[in-house]
Each structure stands twice: as structure tokens, then as C-alpha cells.
Amino acid sequence: MAEAAASSPAYVRRPGRRRIAFAVALALSAARTLDAQTDFYNTSVGRPIRIEDAVPVEYRAVELNLAPVRLDFMGQETRLWSLHPEVTIGILPRTQLQLAMPLAYVDAPETSTRGVAGLDVSVLYALNMETSIPALGVAGDLALPVGPLGGTSTYGTVKGIVTRTLPWARFHGNAQFTAGPSTSLDDATSTANDGRDLSRWLAGIAVDKTFAFHSLLVTAESFAEQPIDRGSSVAWSVGAGLRYQLDPRWSMDAGVGRRFSGDDRAWYVTFGSAFSLGLR
């Protein structure tokens, strides 16, 4: 009896240790799942709005934007369809590289054009992680004249990004400037053969609200831009969108917007899907 009594505490401790080990393993598994889910918080251009946040994808992560589609309802029964497939790679800590080859289809009453609308190469670097000060980021983009709708000129864009998180919402600000030749509205060949989405400058703000337990992000934006066409008026737009996390790696988004000023006051809608994975 004495031996049994002496050995009983060790016997009782074993299930406790097993429970602790199981709880630790479950917590680590949940942490990995949550890490994979954090991407639905981060907004990028066109997913689903124009204004993006200052947070790049994680180091060694790869994000495939599979089917980001945008439809612009322009004047005179003209429709502009654009497909913007892209891949984003976390090449270094706080640094992402993005490659995109947009496709465009202009459906006009008298004529229609389609094809590749350029090649975009961009880099985003986060200057700091958000603490007591907002998160700050800088980005550079190179738009190359590739394809029948890629125009004839190369454009370079620099952008500053700021993100501030409050207990009830996140706020983002973007300001960018593009260097390159201006096109002319009077020259039909220069504008019709350039299906790229270019602006001389753009400035705007956005706000989003996340519902983590529902894997849902709701966002809205307002921005002004000066078109690259010489003599065009400044265009002011507003938009809103949703992003939903289907599983830890797959998310979908949709948005709608309206230009309220400028030479082309069009409605537009977007729809996209992204798949995330990691590299060793």
C-alpha cells in the first residue's frame, strides 16, 4: 500500500502533462492558422479599393491574385473590362515585390480593342511597424509599354503610404506622383492604344473595419487624381468594398465606385480572388 501510495502522484501527473502538451500543440496550431489569416486585413491596390495600407506581405510569403476583374461603365455605351493578374512576393523582411501583366478590353459602339496593357513591376517597403506612431511605407512602380494596349512610353511612380489603427477602425492615406510624358486627348492614337490606369498624381484616404471572428473586412475610400492626359480635369472618386476570408489561404473581394468629377464620370465594379502560400 505504501508503495502504491508513493507511486500514485506520478501516475496522477501524467494525464496533466499530456493535457498541457496537447494544449500547447493546439495553441501553436491555432497560431499558425491565424498567421495565415492575417492577409485579409491588408488592402492592396484594386483589392477591392484603390487606396492601400502600409503593410507588405510577410517575408517569404507569396500571394497570387488570380482573377481581379474591373468593369468601367463609361459614357456613350462604352465598357472597359480589365483583368489584372499579379503575383506578390515577400522578398525581404518588410519588403514585397509585385509583378503584374494587366489585360484590357475596350467595348465601344463603333470599335473594340483588346490585348495586354503593359507590364507593372513594383516594390513596397515598410519603414516601420505601427506602434505609438503610424505605420509608414514607400513604394515605387514601373509601368512598361508591353502589348498592344501598353502604350509607347515607360512611366515611373513613387508613393507614400501611412496607416493608423484605432480600436474601432483603421485609416490609410496615399499620395503618389508619376513621371512620364503626358498624352493628348486630341491624339486618338495615343489614348486609344494605352489601356493602362495612369494618373499624373493621386491623393486619397480610406477607412476599414475588420470583423475577425467573421473573417470579413469592410472598407471605403475617397481620392482625387489628375489624369495623365494633357488638359484633363481632376477626377474625384469614392468607393467601397468587402473582403472575405474563405479559408486560411484563400480570400475573395468585391467593390464598387463612382467618379463624381472629371472628364469621365463613370461607375465601376471590381471582383477578385487571392491565394496565399509560403516559400521555404
Class level of CATH domain 42-278: mainly beta
Phi-psi region of 180 (alpha: psi -120 to 50; beta: other; left: phi over 0): left
Which tens digits make up the pLDDT trace of 35-86? 444 566 778 888 889 999 999 998 999 999 887 899 888 766 778 888 999 9
Domain boundaries, given as residue ranges, for the chain: 42-278
- The CA-atom distances, in angstroms, between 93 and each of 65, 132, 276 are 21, 21, 17
For residue 7, pLDDT over 60 is answered with no
What pLDDT is recorded for position 125?
A: 98
pLDDT tens digit string along 247-269?
Answer: 888 889 999 999 998 777 889 99
* Cβ-based burial of 57 (10 A; exposed 0-12, middle 13-18, buried ≥19): buried
| More confident: 9 or 44 | 44
pLDDT in tens, 124-177: 999 999 999 999 999 999 999 999 888 889 999 999 999 999 999 999 999 999
Alpha helices of the chain — where are they, by DSSP H? 2-37, 188-192
Residue type, 205: I
CA 216 – CA 200 distance, rounded (Å): 33
Q: Which three cell numbers stand for residue 258?
A: 463612382
